[in-house]
């Protein structure tokens, strides 16, 4: 029987939206099933997109013609390029978003997506046909059949909200959790666990004394996320900055036993980089104050998100400590903060396409895989959606490597090493950070989207125009050079070694700028600002990038050795029991991935390689 | 492009012949340089003088040349069968490194052979064991021989690298956090300077390289006619010094070069220490004292019958110097704490002294803590790391991302010494020092 759908995406959060859009873009008949249509594209926590590592992910999503970047550009109300004063490899675009604009833009985008149907439905179970996932069943009994299912449950899997002594089963405030789906996953024999995260109280904007606060403005020239966006036209706002006081800390310390986390009610681990205010007060007892950003949730929204003080203390304690914060003496709370605990699946159960190895046809993306963050979720959604679509169409999967994209770094980290706390992207996780920049995400990835036919015509045209100009400019820069005396005449002092230096070589000198170059070659002045910036970045990093290229070649050689699914590590002679167990558990897909598993020695790798080679030889 | 690798394929330590294998694209060029252009015919062996990149001949060796693909690894290969002394091996390694070769990783020859289909696949099962044994053996050896002080040093380095990288990465990844200072990476400045200095000190340790080239120096000191010259002749195995029973016969310094424990050793016989009877002897005594101060090891020689001499000399010797009670033939049964009673004349007791000297020379000059091959690789790694950290230091203020790159490179090259530094270790450090979470 032919399925109604190629791909069903369950969940309308950031992972689900990106998955549905990607699957549809890849040509698959896609159904998005979610509890409530109104909350599609909801920002449940901090109304912000991007940052270090995260901004890189958004650029990569965009380079693969995903939607998060464009939606952020039409809803961002405080764009700031982080690390502006540092090198281009570590600049991170970030914005606060207007929650309503974001949600509306996302819903409009999906509604207009060809091949995509959206229906409301609370999925309670999955359909399996001989071990392969073939569809979903809603709580009202509706059944949908498909070639593949992408599951993006966020915090809904057995979600439990904690606030003081209160326990409320919920996926988000006032939204029921998914119990049935959790049981289904346990039934598959998957390694699962609990994680926790938290959110602060929401404050009424009009109850804050803004005049008492320092304000942080947006950048004067907002840098968009999407390579398709020319200019940010959304009005930009300021955020307030305040700080906790010793009095705040005193109230929190005195009531610490009422916090859900410290009373021992929560077993799941929370992220170290997103601690609650209770955690901050306890773990950093020597600090007398912590910074708080007061971020308006929208242009015409009376809600403010106080960034930095998530809490699971009881309502009255939250009220009390909030009022000790400068600017918040008379604050009104719109909704109190809470901690939430939810199920996740050990991501080592996944293959590199984010498909469950124990349940083919079922892809997972977002918090269910132990990550945190909208951007991490969306990036996984994109990859899961694409690969589910490709599988339905009988095409090869798309797998990005650590040397190509932050997306590759994240997925490899997840499936190889698992998680012990919600996983967040940092630039320090990327070995090839100088190569994997936000500014060149399109140069790294868009070609793949074009080749595999999931980039739209507008994207293709824009990309090809840009690359055409860039190539021409690079050629111009390569072919124009100066001898040391000529350079000296142009005011550039270099060693008198008789070597000709081209534009890239000259730009690599710290005191040489583009004006000095165009003074020598006036024809280069016609190049666009964007193109010149790329030339300058190429020049800045060239020495390091050349060295990294050699590393990457060696890295890719091991990555190119694929270990087939179902490879029997037990049949490899000469493997120690420890190495065998570790390999069996991690089930690496490439020799390179195997080498990153702790405890797998060079000997074990060679044994595996030998075995693979012999099989190859026997087969031919 | 593949690197060219080398390794000692005979057991490290004292042996008559040591075989150094070289594999990779530069193998032929290396042979040309080391044999002054007299590369042997393919698959042939020839006796050649080996020279370093300065053109200094350091050994005469049997040299073999196997152009790929018909070679052990399938690549161009060469083999140098040198005299087994550690000094020769070290010089050969140094020359190979100068020519751009790198020490082979554990099992790398085998792996290359295997990848180029030079090993029958039925042998493959045994390979893992082989490589494992090689790796494990090296690791155990390294661990066993690593002294407590050295282990402590490597742990310090690791600790320092984590905190340096945490400062740099913390500044890069958490620019918008109230608790993270803006110029956090500047905190890496001082630890970087200290770490680089520590590595340099480690590399220069005991001027090992210089001693290997010029020889380990031993000064024989003692009163006139204590028998220093006889002892010298005994150790040298020939009559280098004139031996008479007239006190003050040796007026200037007499040096002999010998090989002990596989290393060149220079033993100096010095003028006897006494009130000089003439100006020539006075100058001799002065030189004797200078030489004694500069020497790597002093051997005090006393007449076993003279308690006076013993007392005088004990003041001039360092803690780890040696004391010889000579003329045992004239004072049978003589002994003193920690001293070597012997008779330079009859040879009695000499072998104990020789064994002790060899042990000292080896301890101070050789591998110190590691077998020659591991040490060569480690040394190279420390050099690479130290250079990278130097670059990091200069980039710290202007471009922390480039500093970060070099620090990561340094960490990678030090992994064999310090153990792996994972990004999680670095993040741990950041999260424990700063309250992250806006």
Residue A174 zone, left/alpha/beta (φ > 0; ψ -120 to 50; rest): left
B182, pLDDT greater than 60: yes
Residues B259 and B215 sit within 8 Å (Cβ to Cβ): no
Round the CA-based radius of gyration of chain A to a whole number and report it.
26
Residues A232 and A74 sit within 8 Å (Cβ to Cβ): no
**Number of A–B residue contacts, CB under 8 Å:** 139
Beta bridge partners of A294: A240, A306
- Asked if A613's CB is within 8 angstroms of B121's CB, the reply is yes
A205-214, B267-276, B329-338, range with the lowest pLDDT? B267-276
Amino acid B242: pLDDT: 65
Residues A99 and A297 sit within 8 Å (Cβ to Cβ): yes
- Asked if B423's CB is within 8 angstroms of A433's CB, the reply is no
DSSP state for residue A138 in the 8-state scheme: E
Residue B88 or residue A23, greater confidence: A23
- Asked if A602's CB is within 8 angstroms of B426's CB, the reply is no
Task: Tell me which H or E stretch contains A137.
Answer: strand A132-138
Beta bridge partners of A117: A31
Q: Is A87 on the interface with B (CB under 8 A)?
A: yes
Q: What are the phi and psi torsion angles at A457 (to 5°)?
A: -60, -40
The encoded tokens of residue B408 equal 């990561």
Beta bridge partners of A125: A137
B10, pLDDT greater than 50: yes
Burial per residue of A328-348, b for 16 or more beta-carbon CB atoms within 10 angstroms, e otherwise: beebebeebbbbbbbbbbbbb
Residues of chain A with pLDDT under 70: 1-2, 574, 620
Residue A429 zone, left/alpha/beta (φ > 0; ψ -120 to 50; rest): alpha
Which residues in chain A are contacts of B161 at CB distance < 8 A?
A: none
CA distance B333 to A201: 92
- Asked if A280's CB is within 8 angstroms of B132's CB, the reply is no
Nearest CA in chain A to B130: A603
Alpha helices in A393-502 (DSSP H): 406-417, 441-451, 457-479, 484-489
DSSP state for residue A286 in the 8-state scheme: T
Nearest CA in chain B to A423: B424
- Asked if B132's CB is within 8 angstroms of A601's CB, the reply is yes
This complex has an ipTM of 0.90
User: What distance in Å separates residue A446's CA from the closest CA in chain B?
Assistant: 25
User: How many Cβ atoms sit within 10 Å of the Cβ of residue A572?
Assistant: 22
Which residues in chain B are contacts of A438 at CB distance < 8 A?
A: none
Q: In what order do the strands lie in the sheet with A239-243?
A: A214-216, A239-243, A291-296, A303-307, A202-204, A333-335
Nearest CA in chain A to B406: A544
- Asked if A606's CB is within 8 angstroms of B127's CB, the reply is yes
pLDDT band at B135 (very low <50, low <70, confident <90, very high): very low
Amino acid B36: pLDDT: 93
pLDDT band at B144 (very low <50, low <70, confident <90, very high): very low
Amino acid B370: pLDDT: 44
- Asked if A428's CB is within 8 angstroms of B128's CB, the reply is no
- Residue A585, class by beta-carbon neighbours within 10 Å (0-12 exposed, 13-18 middle, 19+ buried)? middle
Long-range contacts (CB closer than 8 Å, 24 or more residues apart) made by A445-448: A445/A60, A445/A63, A445/A64, A445/A400, A445/A404, A445/A405, A446/A63, A446/A64, A446/A65, A446/A227, A448/A64, A448/A398
Task: Tell me which H or E stretch contains B263.
Answer: strand B263-269
Alpha helices in A480-574 (DSSP H): 484-489, 503-507, 514-520, 529-559
- Over range B254-265, report the average pLDDT: 79
3-state secondary structure of B203: helix
Nearest CA in chain A to B129: A574
Q: What are the phi and psi torsion angles at B166 (to 5°)?
A: -60, -40
Q: What are the phi and psi torsion angles at A142 (to 5°)?
A: -65, 140
Residues A428 and B431 sit within 8 Å (Cβ to Cβ): no
Residues A152 and A377 sit within 8 Å (Cβ to Cβ): yes
Which residues in chain A are contacts of B135 at CB distance < 8 A?
A: 601-603
pLDDT in tens, B411-426: 988 877 777 788 888 8
Residues A97 and A49 sit within 8 Å (Cβ to Cβ): yes
Q: Which residues contact A582 (CB under 8 A, 6 or more apart)?
A: A597, A598, A599, A600
CA distance B116 to B138: 25
Q: What are the phi and psi torsion angles at A396 (to 5°)?
A: -70, 150
Nearest CA in chain A to B400: A86
Amino acid B127: pLDDT: 60
Residues B248 and B272 sit within 8 Å (Cβ to Cβ): yes
User: What distance in Å separates residue A78's CA from the closest CA in chain B?
Assistant: 14
Amino acid B137: pLDDT: 46
Q: Is A272 on the interface with B (CB under 8 A)?
A: yes
- Over range B126-148, report the average pLDDT: 51
The encoded tokens of residue B411 equal 């960490």
CB proximity under 8 Å: A 486-525 to B: 510
E strand intervals along A416-567: 481-482, 501-502
Nearest CA in chain B to A599: B420
- Over range B232-250, report the average pLDDT: 71
Residue B333 zone, left/alpha/beta (φ > 0; ψ -120 to 50; rest): left
3-state secondary structure of A121: coil
3-state secondary structure of B195: helix
CA distance B376 to B6: 10
Q: Which residues contact A427 (CB under 8 A, 6 or more apart)?
A: A52, A53, A56, A89, A90, A92, A433, B169, B172, B173
The encoded tokens of residue A186 equal 């346990």
Amino acid B104: pLDDT: 83
User: Given the structure tokens 């209160």, which residue do they identify?
Assistant: A166
- Over range B94-103, report the average pLDDT: 90
User: What distance in Å separates residue B18's CA from the closest CA in chain A?
Assistant: 26
Residue B145 or residue B185, greater confidence: B185
B13, pLDDT greater than 60: no
Amino acid B367: pLDDT: 46
Of A274, A427, A604, Cβ closest to residue B437 = A274
Which residues in chain A are contacts of B128 at CB distance < 8 A?
A: 573-575, 603-604, 606-607, 610
Nearest CA in chain A to B108: A602
User: How many Cβ atoms sit within 10 Å of the Cβ of residue A286?
Assistant: 6
Mutation target for B interface from A603, A605, A613: give the one with most B CBs within 10 A.
Answer: A603
Residues A4 and A145 sit within 8 Å (Cβ to Cβ): yes
A224-228, B89-93, B404-408, range with the lowest pLDDT? B89-93
Amino acid B181: pLDDT: 87
């Amino acid at each position: 029987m032919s399925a109604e759908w190629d791909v069903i995406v369950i969940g309308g959060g950031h992972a689900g939206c990106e998955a549905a859009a990607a699957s549809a873009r890849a040509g698959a008949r896609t159904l998005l099933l979610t509890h409530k249509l109104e909350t599609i594209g909801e920002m449940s926590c901090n109304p912000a997109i991007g940052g270090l590592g995260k901004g890189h992910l958004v650029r990569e999503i965009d380079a693969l013609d995903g939607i998060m970047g464009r939606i952020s550009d039409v809803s961002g109300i405080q764009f700031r390029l982080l690390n502006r004063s540092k090198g281009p490899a570590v600049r991170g675009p970030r914005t606060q978003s207007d929650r309503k604009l974001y949600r509306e833009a996302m819903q409009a985008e999906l509604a207009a997506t060809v091949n995509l149907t959206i229906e409301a439905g609370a999925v309670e179970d999955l359909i399996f046909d001989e071990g392969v996932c073939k569809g979903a069943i809603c709580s009202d009994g509706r059944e949908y059949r498909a070639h593949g299912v992408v599951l993006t449950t966020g915090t809904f899997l057995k979600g439990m909200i904690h606030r003081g002594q209160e326990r409320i089963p919920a996926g988000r405030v006032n939204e029921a959790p998914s119990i049935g789906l959790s049981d289904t996953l346990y039934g598959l024999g998957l390694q699962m666990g609990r994680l926790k995260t938290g959110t602060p109280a929401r404050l009424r904007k009009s109850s804050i004394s803004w005049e008492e606060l320092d304000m942080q403005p947006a950048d004067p020239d907002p840098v968009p996320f999407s390579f398709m966006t020319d200019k940010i036209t959304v009005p930009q706002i300021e955020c307030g900055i305040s700080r906790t006081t010793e009095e705040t800390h005193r109230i929190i310390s005195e009531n610490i036993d009422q916090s859900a986390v410290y009373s021992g009610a929560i077993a799941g681990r929370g992220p170290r980089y997103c601690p609650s205010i209770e955690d901050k007060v306890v773990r950093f007892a020597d600090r007398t104050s912590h910074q708080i950003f007061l971020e308006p949730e929208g242009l015409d929204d009376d809600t403010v998100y106080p960034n930095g003080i998530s809490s699971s203390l009881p309502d009255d304690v939250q009220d009390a400590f909030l009022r000790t914060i400068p600017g918040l003496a008379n604050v009104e709370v719109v909704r109190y903060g809470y901690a939430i605990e939810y199920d996740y699946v050990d991501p080592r159960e996944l293959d590199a396409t984010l498909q469950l190895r124990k349940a083919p046809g079922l892809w997972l993306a977002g918090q269910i895989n132990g990550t945190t963050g909208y951007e991490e979720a969306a990036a996984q959604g994109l990859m899961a959606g694409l690969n589910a679509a490709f599988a339905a169409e009988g095409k090869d999967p798309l797998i990005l490597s650590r040397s190509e994209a932050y997306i590759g770094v994240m997925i490899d980290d997840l499936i190889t090493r698992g998680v012990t706390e919600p996983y967040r992207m940092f630039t320090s996780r990327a070995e090839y950070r100088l190569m994997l920049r936000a500014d060149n995400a399109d140069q790294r990835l868009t070609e793949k989207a074009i080749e595999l036919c999931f980039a739209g015509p507008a994207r293709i045209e824009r990309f090809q125009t840009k690359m055409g100009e860039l190539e021409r400019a690079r050629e111009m820069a390569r072919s124009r050079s100066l001898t040391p005396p000529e350079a000296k005449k142009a005011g550039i002092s270099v060693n008198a070694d008789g070597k000709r230096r081209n534009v890239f070589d000259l730009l690599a000198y710290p005191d040489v700028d583009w004006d000095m170059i165009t003074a020598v070659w006036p024809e280069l002045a016609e190049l666009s600002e964007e193109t010149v910036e790329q030339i300058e970045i190429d020049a800045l990093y060239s020495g390091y990038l050349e060295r990294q290229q050699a590393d990457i070649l060696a890295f890719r050689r091991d990555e190119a050795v694929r270990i087939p699914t179902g490879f029997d590590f037990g049949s490899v002679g000469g493997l120690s029991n420890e190495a065998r167990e570790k390999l069996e558990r991690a089930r690496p897909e490439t020799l390179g991935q195997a080498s990153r598993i702790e405890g797998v020695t060079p000997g074990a790798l060679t044994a595996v390689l030998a075995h693979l080679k012999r099989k190859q030889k026997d087969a031919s | 492009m593949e690197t060219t690798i080398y390794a000692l394929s005979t057991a490290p330590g004292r042996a008559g012949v040591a075989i150094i294998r070289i594999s990779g694209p530069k193998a032929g060029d290396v042979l040309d340089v080391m044999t002054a252009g007299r590369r042997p015919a393919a698959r042939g062996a020839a006796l050649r003088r080996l020279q370093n990149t300065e053109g200094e001949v350091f050994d005469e060796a049997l040299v073999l040349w196997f152009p790929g693909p018909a070679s052990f690894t399938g690549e161009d290969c060469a083999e140098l069968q040198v005299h087994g002394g550690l000094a020769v091996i070290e010089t050969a390694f140094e020359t190979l490194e100068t020519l751009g070769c790198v020490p082979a990783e554990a099992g790398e020859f085998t792996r290359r052979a295997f990848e180029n289909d030079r090993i029958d696949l039925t042998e493959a099962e045994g390979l893992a064991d082989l490589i494992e044994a090689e790796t494990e053996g090296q690791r155990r050896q390294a661990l066993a021989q690593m002294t407590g002080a050295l282990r402590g040093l490597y742990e310090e380095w690791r600790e320092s690298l984590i905190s340096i990288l945490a400062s740099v990465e913390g500044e890069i990844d958490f620019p918008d956090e109230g608790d993270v200072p803006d110029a956090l990476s500047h905190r890496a400045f001082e630890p970087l300077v200290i770490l680089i200095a520590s590595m340099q000190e480690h590399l220069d340790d005991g001027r090992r390289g210089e001693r290997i080239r010029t020889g380990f120096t031993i000064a024989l000191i003692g009163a006139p006619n204590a028998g220093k010259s006889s002892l010298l002749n005994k150790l040298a195995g020939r009559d280098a010094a004139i031996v008479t029973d007239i006190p003050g016969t040796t007026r200037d310094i007499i040096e002999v070069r010998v090989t002990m424990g596989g290393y060149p050793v220079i033993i100096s016989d010095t003028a006897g220490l006494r009130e000089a009877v003439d100006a020539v002897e006075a100058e001799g005594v002065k030189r004797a004292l200078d030489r004694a101060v500069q020497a790597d090891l002093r051997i005090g020689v006393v007449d076993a019958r003279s308690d006076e001499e013993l007392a005088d000399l004990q003041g001039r010797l360092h803690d780890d110097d040696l004391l010889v009670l000579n003329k045992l033939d004239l004072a049978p049964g003589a002994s003193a704490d920690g001293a070597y009673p012997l008779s330079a004349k009859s040879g009695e007791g000499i072998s104990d002294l020789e064994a002790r000297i060899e042990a000292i020379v080896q301890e101070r000059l050789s591998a110190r803590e590691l077998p020659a091959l591991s040490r060569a690789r480690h040394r190279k790694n420390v050099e690479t790391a130290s250079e990278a950290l130097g670059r990091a230091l200069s980039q710290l203020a202007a471009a922390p991302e480039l500093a970060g790159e070099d620090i990561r490179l340094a960490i990678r090259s030090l992994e064999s010494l310090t153990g792996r530094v994972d990004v999680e270790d670095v993040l741990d450090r950041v999260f424990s020092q700063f309250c992250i979470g806006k």
